[in-house]
Amino acid sequence: MSALQHHSNWIDGAYQTATEKTITLINPATESEIATIDSTPLETVKSIITSSLENFSSGIWSKADASTRFGVLSKAATLLRSRLPEFIDLETQQTGRPIREMRAQLSRVPEWLEYFASLARTHEGRVTPFKGTVVNTLTRLPLGVVVQITPWNHPLLIATKKIAAALAAGNSVIVKPSESAPLSVLKLGQLFQEAGLPDGTLQIVSGYGRETGKFLCESPLIAKIDLTGGLATYAAIAPTASKNLIPITAELGGKAPICIFPSMAVEKGVRAALFASFIASGQTCVTGSRLLIHSDIYDEFVELLVRRTRDLRVGAPTDDRTQIGAVISCASVERCARFVSQAVAEGGKILCGGEPTDVNGKGFFFQPTLVESKAGSNLACNEVFGPVIALIRCESEDEIVKVANATSFALGASVWTNDFSQAHRVAEKIDAGIVWINGHHLNDPSSPWGGFKESGMGKENGIGAYESYTKVKSTIINYGQEPSWFDDEVENARYG
């Protein structure tokens, strides 16, 4: 048997020699070993931070013209678009997601590079309405060395979102991809180099989150942390970041309600629920993991939903016919099973699924599962991150809103109704950072993405994300007011 291919860190414009200690990656759909990556020693991580700081201080990117940043990011988008098949194959291997999902998702990733390239070229400073013969200009400057901790469920998409915004603003970037699915992110290093990004401006370092990621986030030399992960990860890094006065953007999870009202045709509502709930085998932060169904259509809706869920094709991710792929690990299968078991213990009723499964005797798969639940149950309130969905009967619009808001998460929600007034009324009352009306999983580089409560803080996407990677300098220019503080006439004196 041939040795596994090793994918090294991308540091200072080159792939490095493999570290002594490595991490083996597993294809979750086949349980086969697919590659190894570096488990980077902390001394090496420390030198990477220092090198990145030198890169930033040199001004080679931090002081580059906006037109230069625009050109590099635009070329990176063109290169990525031309090489999508390579990235799609890697994403399918390392995540176990169906290849048709990855084609659809990754085809849009270059848009983030193009959007933030345009912001770099067109975003302008401001002049404030300062009183008197004074001009006050506001200039946005890059922060410095920023650390990005990215997840395994959307490796390339989420990394590119963060990288594009940070580079557009002129920062030097260190990315630590998930040790479970880092291959597509590691591949970005050479692509950005070809696009003209100066060496050392983008560093991609592998390792375990509890070691490499934690060490990066604890460095006093970094200027910002951008994390997509769990609440426990945030809790582990936040105290030190606070002590070092380092801002954090954090996307930490969700428990998205899908609110189905009687005016929505049942067939359309069922299709909506399937899409919201089972894309990526339920492994997204906005998975429609709670279906809040009005009692007027509940029985008809559930009957069709159960039938359609049983018909979903669980299979090999490389098969174009597959609709449901693997979950990321054996631990994820076990987590799904625990949620189902506890739901039943709390009086929940399994309507379909509920068991681990496999493809040709291999892989980490879990059946698409529907469980009739109560609003306050563990399954209805906590994040599974798998294809296990709670169905909750609600008697009224007010009850749907109440149940929708009755968790500690507040990332995404969707409202399905053909009543225009109801759509806006309910959307206004739902406490979530993203509310879709008659849609779900809709995403765009221009649209802010982030939640409230335990779902995190700050936003990806949009002008706000770009600005979060900058600091504002206020320059105050007196062009007509004479200094007069200790003179006889002080009526025009100004002070802070």
Q: Considering the candidates 91, 101, 114, 251, report the single residue annotated as catalytic.
A: 251
| 454 flagged as catalytic | no
Residue for token digits 């540091």?
11
CA distance 488 to 496: 20
CA distance 183 to 177: 9
CA distance 260 to 266: 9
Residue for token digits 């590079």?
113
CA distance 414 to 102: 23
CA distance 471 to 474: 10
Active site residues: 251
